[in-house]
Structure 1
């Protein structure tokens, strides 16, 4: 997998190191010359010192052949712009870091589904702790070959109910996010456009799950 990461903040650097450890090909773009120079000397990946919102720079990073683009600069508007450029280049997976809720709404309206809001995640966790709620982080539940998957409803399954979708063995739906609502799988909702399905499966079943759900990741 070839991943372009724009922004060498704490999130960008941590992600870059994780992907390198996984054997992924990473291209990291950072506009700060001193930071870019230091990372180029310490990370086993391509580091480009430039402004990542420039189409010519993303072309230099060979965005046309990227499997994923992660926009995690400190600027929400820049991250959305990077996402738009990457989408125009037909990049399959786009992940945007968005700090401000109003820009999350804008990004959602523009059709971006994978957004990270670190402040919201942290504040929700702290709020739960203060209320005496022992919330279990999803990352602590992913063990062995179990995988939790988020999938946007494709044309193949829109208007179907969850019970009508023939998931492979060792797989099950958890629920559906619909706008600001979460619907448990036991309610068997009929799927609508932009619904986000949450399911659990095993690593060796992911390809079969994608096929059933109409996701073409070739």
Structure 2
């Protein structure tokens, strides 16, 4: 199986797929695609003009799948072990819900309210809007932190106390928050802060975080 992921490293959705592939021991090639604006050939395989898109070159065309959730579901099918989806039907549904929460609510608040005004702006050579990021952290992030702190309870993972797609989806959004210089306050959200640290220490995450941090450091030094 020859797999190509089209996208950009700092994207939380590209990172989500890359982490899932590493956790499953699946080899892939990352082909960088700048979607600002998206090239015409990419629009043909990604109708929503979003990253990532997966191409399985061992399959006849059309051999692409857009959307991180769809790609991860495909990965689970072709490489069932280790599983990233709970075996129990109810818990599997809960994992899908947490994945959706991360992909929509977290991505919207963190991406538009914190990451883009700070980290992405710096990466693109634009002025940083720290005020917007600070306002988002004060007004919108506490609800997200409260929800996740409650979901964790006394467990190490979000669903069925086992590492799953739910953890990958949530943790990848926190990477972008970290790139912008923010994280949950350990005094106010101790379980969540410890959880994020554990997730980001996993080899699958750590290698990508280090890779991206070097990119942002180079931008700041320029």
Question: TM (normalized to structure 1)?
Answer: 0.26
Whose helix fraction is larger, Structure 1's or Structure 2's? 2
Query: Over alpha carbons, which structure has the higher Rg?
Result: 1
Whose strand fraction is larger, Structure 1's or Structure 2's? 1
